[in-house]
Amino acid sequence: MKFKTIGIISPGDMGHVVGDVLRAGGLRVVACLDGRSPRTKALAQQAHLEDLGSVEAVVSEADAILSILVPAEAERAATAVATAMQQRGASLLYADCNAISPATTRLIGERIEAAGGRFVDASIIGPPPRRVGATRFYASGPHAGDLAALNDYGLHVIPIGERVGDASALKMCYAALTKGLTALSTELLVAAEALGITEPLQAEFRQSQSSMLAQMERGLPGMPPKARRWVGEMEEIASTFESVGLTPKILLGAADIYRFVGDTTLADRNPEDPGQPSLSDMIAQLAQHLR
Amino acid sequence: MKFKTIGIISPGDMGHVVGDVLRAGGLRVVACLDGRSPRTKALAQQAHLEDLGSVEAVVSEADAILSILVPAEAERAATAVATAMQQRGASLLYADCNAISPATTRLIGERIEAAGGRFVDASIIGPPPRRVGATRFYASGPHAGDLAALNDYGLHVIPIGERVGDASALKMCYAALTKGLTALSTELLVAAEALGITEPLQAEFRQSQSSMLAQMERGLPGMPPKARRWVGEMEEIASTFESVGLTPKILLGAADIYRFVGDTTLADRNPEDPGQPSLSDMIAQLAQHLR
């Protein structure tokens, strides 16, 4: 399978870097920025993506579309693409790369296939792929192999099987660890601050949990700008776990924590903004926001 | 403050080792084993503790009592000691070392003080203290310094302040990290198994989360024999977090996971039994137990 034109819906924090990589790799990369935020437009411009305005225009021009969005927008985007495909009689490869449950993914897949598209369940593990090898695109479903053609243009796509849902399931279980632990760590540090025992807890962590403490100091302060979009991801993981008979509560609690953080001004920063707070500043601000 | 006789309620997994340390350090260590399980009696005998039969007898003989129990038993034990103190006119130092919320601790403290005892809020971080330095007894409250006299007999007591509740709060926040992460890890691995993506998830973890994976392989298989008693501890942490305005759900979900594990035959082993399963065996057995 050969690609010439890739559509990116939407070129946000992750999407614009993916677009930039594919463009630098030699592909034409297009987007539909009508109605998107000034920030998304600025990111798309920064990555030199071509704005075709509407979803319909992207569907007409693209060989493949990568959907890279917050979870809550995944279904609406797929529906818009499916509608445009039916209107135009176009067919293309549609890879849903979002952090959504296998069940939501299968629903989206059915909608795309019913409109004549070829669906790939994809998921992204790692940061925006500014560095080669840092980020993996897992892909599953009958057309997963087709998406692997993007390996010739700078992405790292790993097909993991024929079953739609598997790439999403992989992302759900992986993010449960990383973002679940981030939520848990945030909660216990805020609780310690509110209870007035930060100092002895830090001393104990330095002694018996030094690598976990280092991980918190490195990872937590960068979280607040992403907290709002992680709420939906935690809820998708919760429903994934519930679907196999496990408790959804741990991940619903993680969603609560990201909602709480998202409700503070710490979440108003963008990831690229300077002036990231220290861990202790961040925790002190969150503790002040309680009640 | 000088001690001669210490009562241990009750010499279970943790308590009998603590008793053994203090006895080896030169103290008389007594217990009340009427109505305790054959296993607890065997552990007490193994640690050469002196069985006085009843709580009343221990209260008559001991200078200090260490309460080391599952969270659900902490309050009843304190009430029994308080009643015995009032009946005998005895006064002693009572250290509640259990994994309970600051609020439950304060309640117990008030009951002990009302009966004429001197209350210490204590909490244990680390394994049963078979090795010097592996385990810390945090202590808070006006009489915390008195408990530190046990440092002369082989324990490691760290007073952290005048406020009853602080030592318990420290334990709650610490255990949230260690046991919360254990529950989260167990859940996502069982979910991955149920979803049929264990193999690619393990491959991804080996690449990007190797130290977390190593921690799971090392730590998780020893958990099931402790799962049943950790249910109550998770609930105490949940109520601690809720008391400062944070979500209880993450820890209530952790309690759900330990309840689920406790419901399998994996939890029938004792920590000292041979034949611990590998991580993959354990996860496979848990996945079979779903629904």
Q: Decide if B247 and A253 are in contact by the 8 Å CB cutoff.
A: yes
* Res B217: pLDDT: 96
Q: List chain B residues with CB under 8 Å of A230.
A: none
Q: Decide if B170 and A208 are in contact by the 8 Å CB cutoff.
A: no
Q: What is the pTM of this model?
A: 0.96
B172-288 has which fold? N-(1-d-carboxylethyl)-l-norvaline Dehydrogenase; domain 2 (1.10.1040)
Q: Decide if B249 and A252 are in contact by the 8 Å CB cutoff.
A: yes
Residue percentage of chain A with pLDDT more than 70: 100
Provide block-wise average pLDDT over 10 residues at a time, chain B (291 residues): 92 94 97 92 94 96 96 96 93 96 98 97 96 93 97 96 98 98 98 98 97 96 96 98 98 98 95 88 97 72
Mutate to test the interface with A, among B181, B182, B204 (most CBs of A within 10 A): B204
- This model of the complex carries an ipTM of 0.96
Of B125, B138, B204, the CB nearest to A170: B204
Mutate to test the interface with B, among A105, A185, A187 (most CBs of B within 10 A): A187
pLDDT digits (tens, 9 = 90+) for B229-246: 999 999 999 999 999 999
* Res B70: pLDDT: 93
Of A126, A176, A249, the CB nearest to B252: A249
* Res B133: pLDDT: 83
At A274, is the pLDDT very low, low, confident or very high (cuts 50, 70, 90)? confident
Decide if pLDDT at A291 tops 80: no
Give residue for tokens 């509407």: A54
Decide if pLDDT at A249 tops 80: yes
Helix (H, G, I), strand (E, B) or coil at B99: coil
Q: List chain A residues with CB under 8 Å of B249.
A: 249-250, 252-253, 256
* Res B203: pLDDT: 97
Tokens of B28: 């008389």
Terminal-to-terminal C-alpha distance of chain B:
56
- Contact of A188 with B173, CB cutoff 8 Å: yes
Kindly state the average pLDDT of the residues A144-169. Answer: 97
Q: List chain B residues with CB under 8 Å of A185.
A: 177
Instruction: Provide the mean pLDDT of chain A.
Output: 96
Half-sphere exposure in the Cβ direction for A285 (13 Å, CA): 17
Q: List chain B residues with CB under 8 Å of A248.
A: 253
Q: What architecture is the A169-288 domain classified under in CATH?
A: Orthogonal Bundle (1.10)
CA gap B82, B88 in Å, rounded: 10
**Domain-by-domain residue ranges, chain B?**
5-164, 172-288
B249: Cβ contacts below 8 Å, ≥ 6 apart: A249, A250, A252, A253, A256, B238
At A272, is the pLDDT very low, low, confident or very high (cuts 50, 70, 90)? confident
B5-164 has which fold? Rossmann fold (3.40.50)
Mutate to test the interface with A, among B101, B105, B106, B173 (most CBs of A within 10 A): B173
CA gap A134, A36 in Å, rounded: 28
* Res A275: pLDDT: 84
Q: Decide if A201 and B244 are in contact by the 8 Å CB cutoff.
A: no
CA gap A55, A46 in Å, rounded: 21
A240 φ, ψ (degrees, to nearest 5): -60, -45
Decide if pLDDT at A1 tops 80: no
Decide if pLDDT at A157 tops 90: yes
At A273, is the pLDDT very low, low, confident or very high (cuts 50, 70, 90)? confident
Of A102, A126, A209, the CB nearest to B195: A102
Q: List chain A residues with CB under 8 Å of B189.
A: 173
Of B191, B247, B253, the CB nearest to A244: B191
CA gap A158, A148 in Å, rounded: 7
Cis check for the bond before B10: say yes or no (omega within 30 of 0).
yes
Distance from the B265 Cα atom to the nearest Cα atom in chain A, whole angstroms: 18
pLDDT digits (tens, 9 = 90+) for A164-189: 999 999 999 999 999 999 999 999 99
CA gap A205, B235 in Å, rounded: 22
Name the residue of chain A whose CA is nearest to B171's CA: A201
* Res A83: pLDDT: 97
Distance from the B195 Cα atom to the nearest Cα atom in chain A, whole angstroms: 7
Half-sphere exposure in the Cβ direction for B117 (13 Å, CA): 32
Task: Name residue B82's amino acid.
Answer: A
Instruction: Give every strand in the sheet of A5-9, ordered side by side.
Output: A50-51, A28-31, A5-9, A64-67, A93-96, A118-125, A136-140, A157-161
CA gap B242, B255 in Å, rounded: 15
